[in-house]
Structure 1
Amino acid sequence: MTFTPTDLLWPSCDSPADLTAVEAVPLHERGLPATTYHAVLRAARLWPDRPAMVVLPDAARFLRPASVTFAQLHDQVHRTANLLRSLGVTRRAAVGLLAPNTAELPAALLAAQAAGIAAPVNPSLASEHVEQLLRRGGVRVLVAAGPQLDAQVWATARQVAASLRLDALLALAPTEADGPAPALEPVEGTRVGYLAELAASHPADKLVAIEPPAADDLSAYFHTGGTTGTPRLAAHTHANEVVDAWMVAASIPLDENSVMFAGLPLFHVNALIVTLLGPLLRGQQVVWAGPLGYRDPELYGVFWKLVEHYRIASMSAVPTVYSVLARVPVHADISSMRFAAVGASPLPPAVRASFEEHTGIPLCEGYGLTEATCASALGQPGHARPGIVGRRLPYQQVKTVRIDPDTGEWQDLPPGATGVLAVSGPVVFAGYVAEHTAHGPRLEIAGKIRDGWLDTGDLARIDAGGFIHLAGRAKDLIIRGGHNIDPATIEDALLAHPEVTAAAAVGHPDPHAGEVPVAYVTLTPGARVDPAELLTWATERALERAAAPREVIVIDAIPLTAVGRPYKLGLRLDATRRAVLAELAAQGAHCDPERILCRPHDGGVRVTVPAPADEAERRKVTAALDQYVLDWQYAPQPVV
């Protein structure tokens, strides 16, 4: 078979059967740019005057965006990278980015990768977590939302800059800012200024005093959705990011004239890989939402008009976004929208059905994790199957394994067997950043990688056709009397209720079964259904008797990790605390509920209670807690 250069870079991937033909050509012969910086150069050379991105100031002003061509992006990246170099940034130094999306942020991130290593951080994290992440990454220069863009984030940035004694703090302006930028208050020992103003005097045509990055150089630190303490920093190489972005772009049926919509924040790998680097490789225009992204309540009221105006062909979001859009009347021509991608958490069947029936737009589920750069599997329009997150992307391999809990040894499982999903290939990350030293970051894999295979921590089975069926997080499994229960089956049943907007099922300690399932739900505004009715609803729809929840608890919001995944450990802690209180009451033991602490410990939950002064009371508390398979202790000192 003879390939033209275009065929080599963009082979046919319209169906799962194309995977074998794609992989017949070695990846190194595909002609991919070596780094994200070289991707910027290539795009400016091929499509200089084409809009790379259209950035909305906010949902209300979606008809008055800022537009950036590929040539302008090229110039912005060079000016900013040269500014960063003048501030002391080197190849193994990280640049922090702490801001919601704004027109200046994509170029700032790409410039950080051109000069050193980008370290984007969720701006809604607590200041102490932001500080810990930046310290671990060795950040000396921080790019942050200025006071016009987000006053609270700017206050956090100033606090962190002072605490870490940063060399520079660079402010980002809002997209299409109203009025002149306010003066910036100084931070002692730190250079403070607006990024655009300081970068304007630097060369736009090339890197000055900077060697271009190489494929195996580190490009970014992305924090994961860790379940305890500060999230981990996962280090990516340029090759990780370029290859994964190409895999996604090559596997979706869009050409260079297709317009994408981006509403996810750039501290998340999906935004970087799927809606920034992928379109950069293919020359596609991206319409970026305002700083609130999908969290902007006004976005949903104008969303379908926005799709019509910009002729958007695809979008990428999390299941809750599609749950909301399924209820928004479609008073626009949305025929341009060919499919919508969904990831970050499992897609409930009820959400898929309601969205597709309401809009006629197919949802394509995908799967990935930060430690595998972003995406490892993707469904395709016309090939979606219920309960499947797609087939592996080209040049990645997947398998399921059993990991011995005592020895840590891996045993490969046959096709169709459920086990821990493992991924290998050019997207597996370089490791977690343990610390920053004078010579750069010290990385560790923390037992996550074995012989090139990454332990994803997710349970799955791979069918004979190579399609991946997720079965939940390994740590999220509810084990009732030795029987494994997939919490997704409970969550799907509850999400089918018209007044339930989100659901999460976790294990509740039980003296006989070890664990029994309980479910937490959020409801639509004005919902009239009560927990007892929801319990009946879920019980009637349970796939098996063991999966019927013992209790349904209504809460205001499902807690999320720093990158937007459901924070189930927090719910497990709450369920454990409820169980302890109930058993203490049953035993007639008296204990102040506010003084019972539940916290993560060695992969489980440790309960700490104040030691009763009265010996008889102490025996009651001990008897109550010994009924459970729990790690518990009396507080060594009074609990306050």
Structure 2
Amino acid sequence: MSQAIPHDDIEAAKLLEQAPSPLALLRRTAARRPDHPALIYLRDANDPHPVTLTYGQLLEEVETLCRALKARGVSQDDGIPILLPLVPQAVSSLIAALTVGVAFPVNLLLSPEAMAAQFKLARAREVIVMGPHSALDVRERVGAAIELLDSEINLVEVALGEPTSASFSWAQLLADGNTDSPVEDFPEAPAALVHTGGTTGAPKLAELTQRNLAAGAIMAASALGWRENDRILTGLPLFHVGGSVDMLLSGIAAGVTLMFPTALGLRNPEVISRFWPLVDETRATLVGGVPTMLSAMASSPRADSTLSTLRGFVTGGSPLPAELKRKVEEVSGKPVCQLYGQTETAGITTAQSADGSYHPILGGRPIPMMKVAIGGPNGSFQPGDTGEVFVSGPNVFLGYRTNDGIQGGPADGWISTGDLGEVTDDGDLRLVGRSKEIIIRSGHNIDPLLIEEVAMAHPAVAQAAAVAMPDAYAGELPVLYVALTPGAQVSPEELIAHTGERIAEPPARPKHAFILEEMPLTPVGKIARYKLKQMATEHQVGRALSSIDTLEKVTCQDNGARQVVLYWKQKPTSKQREFAAAALADLGLEQA
């Protein structure tokens, strides 16, 4: 079957002109196939009768919500934080919020203090939040966050269990929308805020318009090759553009069926334990997830699952180790394809087609309507080009909303991605690292992926990440962190020997290996490299100051891993303080 939106610049641009907002895309699909399933929600991993919403029903709920929010006084500049897991209400809330105000899907794991800072920056007027849940205390933390703010914020609760009687309910909100007032879209209006960076310090929110989001949806559907009969099983959260644009909005643009495997998605252990049978039962044609989710799938027994409907996997968000790709394709017999994008481009820049064919580990080719240049806006995208990746297109954001105003927006339509890439002979983008993740050891630039792929080839290793550890002599040293496959055993010394034998360049061989019970992850499931760098800094400072017997511990909470806090058993002498300060200075660090 041919794809729903042709892989063509002219056709994609024509569709964007006809449907320049997510609401317009939904209306277009609902008009063409109102009775086709838009969403299927499994309430648990064995749900025999999942919740289904057709495109006609989804459009009706979205427009009702739009009228309800307007009736409650929401204007185009008002922020609407959404704190919902993968449930149908999260979809209608997102599209309605970005149509009448500024949708702000929020990381469900934030502290009340971090939520409060982000709510304030988002100019929150209404907050749509999940009710009390046994696995997530989101409702309690949102309440605490609102108490920290001076402004009046209304709360709408979506019950996932027993409703809280004191809260304004989802049903009450829908009732406010039972009017015949018109619902309009505003393509050029700011429509969504997406948090970028860490969870500490002053927040920074990427600001995207309705047109940016519609463009990203059309570009993703076109480049990835969605088909109208596709049933896409996705576990990506909607507070990340991979979930909200690359999967959800692109699926709506193409008219596919999106399937949510429980509220916790692919991070639900019950879903992972019977993942392959679930693919058969849902008749999934594609599965979307970040590499850590693929790793969990690959460790799940396939048993007698046929996977007869499955065409392949779509992944992105972080580098795909070659060994992980091999494992997934070996277990499933289906190919893994990749996309590459940023929050700032509504989630997509280049991609490989999910057409069932096998691909090498590359970022793919520039998607329709996207301009990609190597080295700068005046650069080219030709075989052999190497350098920093710059991009321009209708999906490029307005800039970052900060406490000091909009910053970091495009210059003449172009933005720098901060990624380093090269163009292959076939015209694909190969990512060779992030400029800020490159490890520089005595002047040698080391790509962490080189170390990680070698580590992943060890049969005991399930996940691997290489980061820079500060060093007084070399500036930085590569160190390796791994999580093991269930039941496997290996020593740090064996890992150092394994990588040392297989990495030809001596400076790139990791100096230390650390084995963790589990990798620290970001809320979307990527490996939290900044936390590993903090751990490496703590380790090195602890070694450097090991001769001071009055030092109790060292902690590093700085996202850049350049500042540490020293805790003392007793008041240190001036000589000990001077020694510690000198040791930190030698490592290029400072005391917080």
Distance 2:498 2:168 in 1: 57
Residues 1:199 and 1:623: Cα distance change in structure 2 (over 3 Å): closer
Distance 2:381 2:249 in 1: 36
Distance 2:198 2:577 in 1: 36
Distance 2:440 2:117 in 1: 35
* Structure 1 residue 379 displacement after superposition: 1.1
Alignment correspondent of 1:126: 111
- Contact 1:226/1:232 (8 A) holds in 2: no
Q: What is the aligned counterpart of 2:407 among 431, 441, 445?
A: 445
One-letter code aligned to 2:490: V
* Structure 1 residue 24 displacement after superposition: 5.3
* Structure 1 residue 129 displacement after superposition: 1.1
Alignment correspondent of 2:260: 288
Distance 1:157 1:608 in 2: 30
Distance 2:17 2:457 in 1: 47
One-letter code aligned to 1:350: E
Q: What root-mean-square deviation, in Å, do the aligned CA atoms of Structure 1 and Structure 2 show?
A: 2.7
Q: State whether structure 2 residue 334 is matched by structure 1 residue 372.
A: no
1:241 is paired with a residue whose SS is helix
1:576 is paired with a residue whose SS is helix
Alignment correspondent of 1:197: 172
* Structure 1 residue 414 displacement after superposition: 7.8
Q: What is the aligned counterpart of 1:58 among 35, 44, 47?
A: 44
Distance 2:468 2:158 in 1: 44
One-letter code aligned to 2:103: A
Alignment correspondent of 1:342: 315
* Structure 1 residue 494 displacement after superposition: 1.2
1:450 is paired with a residue whose SS is coil
Distance 1:324 1:563 in 2: 14
Structure 2 unaligned spans of 5+: none
Alignment correspondent of 2:26: 40
Distance 2:250 2:550 in 1: 56
- Contact 1:430/1:443 (8 A) holds in 2: no
One-letter code aligned to 1:117: V
Residues 1:203 and 1:579: Cα distance change in structure 2 (over 3 Å): same
One-letter code aligned to 1:389: G
Residues 1:69 and 1:618: Cα distance change in structure 2 (over 3 Å): closer
- Contact 2:5/2:12 (8 A) holds in 1: no
Distance 2:92 2:434 in 1: 35
Residues 1:121 and 1:623: Cα distance change in structure 2 (over 3 Å): closer
Q: State whether structure 2 residue 583 is matched by structure 1 residue 632.
A: no
Distance 1:311 1:613 in 2: 65
Residues 1:569 and 1:60: Cα distance change in structure 2 (over 3 Å): same
Alignment correspondent of 1:638: none
Alignment correspondent of 2:154: 168
Alignment correspondent of 2:470: 509
* Structure 1 residue 613 displacement after superposition: 5.2
Alignment correspondent of 2:55: 70
- Pick the structure with greater CA Rg: 1
Residues 1:534 and 1:55: Cα distance change in structure 2 (over 3 Å): same
Q: State whether structure 2 residue 288 is matched by structure 1 residue 326.
A: no
Alignment correspondent of 1:361: 334
Distance 1:26 1:44 in 2: 19
- Contact 1:421/1:455 (8 A) holds in 2: yes
Alignment correspondent of 2:368: 394
Distance 2:309 2:449 in 1: 33
One-letter code aligned to 1:357: E
- Contact 1:236/1:373 (8 A) holds in 2: yes
Residues 1:25 and 1:334: Cα distance change in structure 2 (over 3 Å): closer
* Structure 1 residue 251 displacement after superposition: 2.0
Alignment correspondent of 1:434: 402
* Structure 1 residue 496 displacement after superposition: 1.6
Question: Residues 75-106 of structure 1: CA distance to partner in whole angstroms, max 9, x if unpaired?
Answer: 11122111111211111111110121212221
* Structure 1 residue 25 displacement after superposition: 5.9
Q: State whether structure 2 residue 132 is matched by structure 1 residue 147.
A: yes
* Structure 1 residue 57 displacement after superposition: 0.6
Distance 1:623 1:95 in 2: 49
Residues 1:414 and 1:396: Cα distance change in structure 2 (over 3 Å): closer
One-letter code aligned to 1:451: D
Using the aligned pairs only, state the percent identity: 33
Question: Residues 364-394 of structure 1: CA distance to partner in whole angstroms, max 9, x if unpaired?
Answer: 0111110111111111246654331111111
- Correspondence 1:439-478 to 2 at 5 A: 443-446=405-408, 449-478=410-439
Residues 1:31 and 1:509: Cα distance change in structure 2 (over 3 Å): closer
1:497 is paired with a residue whose SS is coil
* Structure 1 residue 295 displacement after superposition: 0.9
Distance 1:589 1:542 in 2: 36
- Contact 2:316/2:339 (8 A) holds in 1: yes
Equivalent pairs, count? 585
2:499 is paired with a residue whose SS is helix
One-letter code aligned to 1:592: L
1:365 is paired with a residue whose SS is strand
* Structure 1 residue 518 displacement after superposition: 0.6
Alignment correspondent of 1:81: 66
Distance 1:600 1:419 in 2: 29
Question: Residues 408-461 of structure 1: CA distance to partner in whole angstroms, max 9, x if unpaired?
Answer: xx88488534422111111111111124xxxxxx85233x63332111122222
Alignment correspondent of 2:83: 98
- Contact 1:161/1:169 (8 A) holds in 2: no
Distance 2:469 2:388 in 1: 23
- Contact 1:8/1:31 (8 A) holds in 2: no
Alignment correspondent of 2:286: 314
2:293 is paired with a residue whose SS is helix
- Correspondence 1:200-219 to 2 at 5 A: 200-203=175-178, 207-208=181-182, 212-219=184-191
- Contact 1:349/1:386 (8 A) holds in 2: no
Distance 2:228 2:341 in 1: 24
1:476 is paired with a residue whose SS is coil
Q: State whether structure 2 residue 251 is matched by structure 1 residue 279.
A: yes
- Contact 1:35/1:238 (8 A) holds in 2: yes
Q: State whether structure 2 residue 536 is matched by structure 1 residue 575.
A: yes
Q: State whether structure 2 residue 269 is matched by structure 1 residue 297.
A: yes
Q: Structure 2 length normalisation: TM-score?
A: 0.92
Q: State whether structure 2 residue 69 is matched by structure 1 residue 110.
A: no
Question: Residues 465-508 of structure 1: CA distance to partner in whole angstroms, max 9, x if unpaired?
Answer: 33111122211110011110001111111112222121111112
Distance 2:13 2:530 in 1: 40
Q: What is the aligned counterpart of 2:520 among 532, 539, 559?
A: 559
Distance 1:66 1:292 in 2: 15
Alignment correspondent of 1:405: none
Distance 1:551 1:41 in 2: 56
1:60 is paired with a residue whose SS is coil
- Contact 1:522/1:554 (8 A) holds in 2: yes
Distance 2:538 2:22 in 1: 47
Q: What is the aligned counterpart of 1:49 among 35, 38, 45?
A: 35
Distance 1:29 1:324 in 2: 37
Alignment correspondent of 1:224: 196
- Contact 1:49/1:71 (8 A) holds in 2: yes
- Contact 1:91/1:213 (8 A) holds in 2: no
Residues 1:104 and 1:615: Cα distance change in structure 2 (over 3 Å): closer
* Structure 1 residue 631 displacement after superposition: 3.4
2:518 is paired with a residue whose SS is coil
Alignment correspondent of 2:563: 606
Deviates more, 1:298-307 or 1:149-158: 149-158
Distance 2:481 2:275 in 1: 29
2:93 is paired with a residue whose SS is helix
* Structure 1 residue 130 displacement after superposition: 1.3
Distance 2:356 2:60 in 1: 40
Distance 2:61 2:371 in 1: 37
One-letter code aligned to 1:193: F
Residues 1:542 and 1:300: Cα distance change in structure 2 (over 3 Å): same
* Structure 1 residue 231 displacement after superposition: 4.7
